[in-house]
């Protein structure tokens, strides 16, 4: 989900400026580390800052790490950790960004820049979310982190952006439930499929996602397959009441009508092509 970097650019720019930093080149896997040489802290930090401006992320990280190593108890060290978080994130080294965020939080939990560290940790997990066909561990970690940011720092730019991303992650997790439900439905395991579809419908966070109408439609399909017509009609009625213009309700209406159980509310939207009735995959 790298597109989110654009949406959070303003926040990152503000934080970078507040910590005397800015914006990222690939870090060579075998690039030699800086040789130890005791240098003034300002020289180390400013050199790292210049590398950051030139988008030489790996070089910048090296200099900021030297600031930490040579001047661990200085104000410059605190700033250097923030710069490492930023550089790692821009270089797509998300696990390293998370580790640096954790280090900052552990060392400076009450610092005014702590919200940035919490936010960047959540954002780094968010950037690693994969498609719904794969494990959603990063999605859950991102959701937990984003909720924490929204709870800790309400009204801040971090919390505002976190709320937007929370909805995106919930849509992702609901999509995972739907993917598993469709798998069970194709495998002729209707009870397992029903449990997954109900998880989308009953979870308050998932109810606001784009997957709820399809979940209700799939329940209509499965219940009809099981001969539970009353349950099929009930879920079709819920779908029609809440999403009368949805193509999924038009499909459910047609399906129930074919079974002699025409719902009382006619759909206001168009049916999708018959291809939409084929379970994906």
DSSP codes joined into one string, 224-263: HHTT-HHHHHHHHHHHHHH-TT-HHHHHHHHHHHHTT---
pLDDT of residue 153: 96
Start and end residues for every CATH 1.25.40.10 domain found in the chain: 4-128, 172-277
pLDDT of residue 14: 40
User: Which regions of the chain are under pLDDT 50?
Assistant: 2-3, 5-30, 273-275, 277-281
pTM of the model: 0.74
pLDDT of residue 136: 79
Phi, then psi, of 253 in degrees rounded to 5: -60, -45
Nearest one of 68, 66, 69, 62 to 33, comparing CA atoms: 62
186 neighbors 279 (Cβ within 8 angstroms): yes
pLDDT of residue 21: 38
C-alpha 240/C-alpha 267 separation (Å) is: 7
168 neighbors 132 (Cβ within 8 angstroms): no
- Per-chain mean pLDDT for the chain: 84
pLDDT of residue 272: 56
pLDDT of residue 222: 97
Which CATH number does 172-277 carry? Answer: 1.25.40.10
pLDDT of residue 174: 94
C-alpha 264/C-alpha 98 separation (Å) is: 53
Q: Which spans in 41-131 are helix H?
A: 41-53, 57-70, 75-90, 94-107, 114-126
C-alpha 273/C-alpha 211 separation (Å) is: 18
pLDDT of residue 37: 61
Q: Which CATH class is domain 4-128?
A: mainly alpha
123 neighbors 86 (Cβ within 8 angstroms): no
Q: Measured between alpha carbons, how far is residue 183 from residues 139, 162, 211 in Å?
A: 20, 31, 15
């Amino acid at each position: 989900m790298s597109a989110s970097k654009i949406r959070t650019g303003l926040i990152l720019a503000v934080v970078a400026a507040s910590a005397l930093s800015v914006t990222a080149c690939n870090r060579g896997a075998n690039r030699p580390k800086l040789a130890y040489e005791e240098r003034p802290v300002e020289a180390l930090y400013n050199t790292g800052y210049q590398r950051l401006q030139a988008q030489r992320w790996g070089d910048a990280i090296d200099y900021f790490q030297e600031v930490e190593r040579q001047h661990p108890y200085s104000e410059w060290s605190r700033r250097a950790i923030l710069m490492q978080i930023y550089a790692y994130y821009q270089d797509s080294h998300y696990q390293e960004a998370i580790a640096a965020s954790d280090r900052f939080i552990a060392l400076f939990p009450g610092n005014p820049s702590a919200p940035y560290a919490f936010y960047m940790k959540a954002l780094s997990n968010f950037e690693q979310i994969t498609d719904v066909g794969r494990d959603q561990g990063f999605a859950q970690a991102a959701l937990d982190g984003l909720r924490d940011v929204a709870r800790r720092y309400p009204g801040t730019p971090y919390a505002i952006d976190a709320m937007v991303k929370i909805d995106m992650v919930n849509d992702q997790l609901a999509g995972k439930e739907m993917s598993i439900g469709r798998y069970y439905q194709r495998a002729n395991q209707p009870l397992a499929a029903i449990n997954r579809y109900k998880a989308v419908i009953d979870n308050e966070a998932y109810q606001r996602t784009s997957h709820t109408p399809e979940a209700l439609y799939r329940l209509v399909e499965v219940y009809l397959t099981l001969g539970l017509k009353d349950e099929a009609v009930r879920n079709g009625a819920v779908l029609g009441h809440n999403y009368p213009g949805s193509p999924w309700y038009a499909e459910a209406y047609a399906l129930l009508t074919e079974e002699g159980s025409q719902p009382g509310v006619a759909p206001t939207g168009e049916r999708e092509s018959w291809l939409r009735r084929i379970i994906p995959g």
